[in-house]
Amino acid sequence: MDKAKEYFMKKACWCIRYLLCGVACFVINNSSAFLGTLFEELGVLSEFNSRNCEAVVRGVKALMLSPDNAKDGVEKVSSPDPLPCTFDTLPGMPLELREIVDFFNHAERFRAVGARVPRGVLLYGPPGTGKTSVARVLAHECKAEFFPAKGSEFIEIYVGVGPKRVRELFDKARACERAIVFIDEIDSIGARRDRSINSESASTLNELLSQMDGFVQMSHVLVVAATNRLDMLDPALLRPGRFDRIVYVGLPDKNTRRSIVEYYTTFISSAASDKVFDTIATQSEGLSGADLKNLVNEAAVRAARRGVTQVVDDDFMVALADIKRGGGGG
């Protein structure tokens, strides 16, 4: 069986496993917590959170109770959160990444003049600045399959398991026509080898380096990674031919903060004025994109608690005060 067929067979098996988990959840107690436990035990979709699980419950319930609702249920499962998917819709998108998209989409043009196309992009910056969202947008702009993983997923005490998982991830990418491999928190497996790391961690890092070197002649695969601690990474990762582009994803400036709040406000029922967006932009210095997204959600929660159907200026201002105090809305 060739690698492409093997990959799609595995993908089909995963879909069946998700459905079985959902059916079990529905039959036993319609509990999203139970579903999350099953996912964890099966080792699938590691980034699933409780909100995703609840979406799966709704989707399976719709499918079992009414076949006509199946399509709606699937959409809720696949897109539980609104995600920006273009350079234009994601506020604060680093401009350097437009160059990466050009490299990826027109690799032949660059190779024709002897230029080496970058095969890796490293995103670094403070927590909550949207590095994962940036990677997703990059995949969308490149029209590529997106393969996300966390560095911690490759950390194992058993010999050979970490390197095996790295190989499996990259094999999936190779089987696609166009693919982006995204490793979040890469410092978990890419820490400097001159510091005290065990032999299994070193083997996993060596496998990652080997896999990245194997992509030199593959224009259809791009490796993107993210870290909050650039200083912790092994120098071998930063050599030419691996992560050729290192892009800083920092805290948003005033204009970007306003754009972020406006963007996420489009997903709630709001009667807020333009003036409140200006005020938030001015008073939210130091907040990350994740903080601002949470601010909008907390404003909506406050409106719901008051029993009204639209979020108003005061809801936003109270939420801003809570976020700045570190209360998260309480």
Q: Does residue 86 lie in a domain region? A: no
Give 65-101 pLDDT, tens digit per residue: 443 333 333 332 233 344 546 777 777 777 788 888 9
Residue 19 pLDDT class (50, 70, 90 cuts): low
Tell whether 236 and 262 lie within a shared domain: no
pLDDT at residue number 214: 74
User: Pairing mode, if any, of strands 245-248 and 145-150?
Assistant: unpaired
DSSP 227: E
Q: Does residue 304 lie in a domain region? A: yes
b/e string for 12-21 if b means 16 or more Cβ within 10 A?
eeeeebbeeb
Tell whether 189 and 121 lie within a shared domain: yes
Tell whether 136 and 224 lie within a shared domain: yes
The domain boundary, picked from 248, 270, 295, lies at 248
Tell whether 111 and 206 lie within a shared domain: yes
| Residue ranges in the chain assigned as alpha helix (H) | 3-28, 32-42, 50-65, 70-78, 96-105, 107-111, 131-141, 161-174, 199-213, 254-265, 274-283, 289-305, 313-325
Average pLDDT of the chain is: 77
Tell whether 46 and 184 lie within a shared domain: no
Residue 26 pLDDT class (50, 70, 90 cuts): very low
Tell whether 101 and 226 lie within a shared domain: yes
Give 92-141 pLDDT, tens digit per residue: 777 788 888 988 888 888 888 988 888 899 999 999 888 998 999 999 99
Q: Say how many domains are in the chain.
A: 3
Question: Is 129 within 8 Å of 249 (Cβ atoms)?
Answer: yes
Q: What is the torsional sign of CA 295, 50, 78, 47? A: positive
pTM (predicted TM-score): 0.68
Tell whether 230 and 192 lie within a shared domain: yes
Q: Does residue 83 lie in a domain region? A: no
Of 141, 127, 123, 125, nearest to 84 by C-alpha is 141
Tell whether 305 and 168 lie within a shared domain: no
Residue 146: domain span: 96-248
Residue 289 burial by Cβ neighbours in a 10 Å radius (0-12, 13-18, 19+): buried
Which H helix or E strand runs over 226? strand 221-227
Q: Does residue 214 lie in a domain region? A: yes
Give 156-201 pLDDT, tens digit per residue: 766 778 899 999 999 999 999 899 999 999 998 888 877 656 777 8
* pLDDT at 149 > cutoff 90: yes
Instruction: Look up residue 133 and give its two tokens.
Output: 């969202």
Give 267-286 pLDDT, tens digit per residue: 999 999 999 999 999 999 99
Q: Does residue 85 lie in a domain region? A: no
* Long-range contacts from 60-69, C-beta under 8 angstroms, 24+ separation: 60/19, 60/22, 60/23, 60/25, 60/26, 61/26, 61/30, 64/23, 64/26
The domain boundary, picked from 248, 282, 306, lies at 248
Tell whether 105 and 8 lie within a shared domain: no
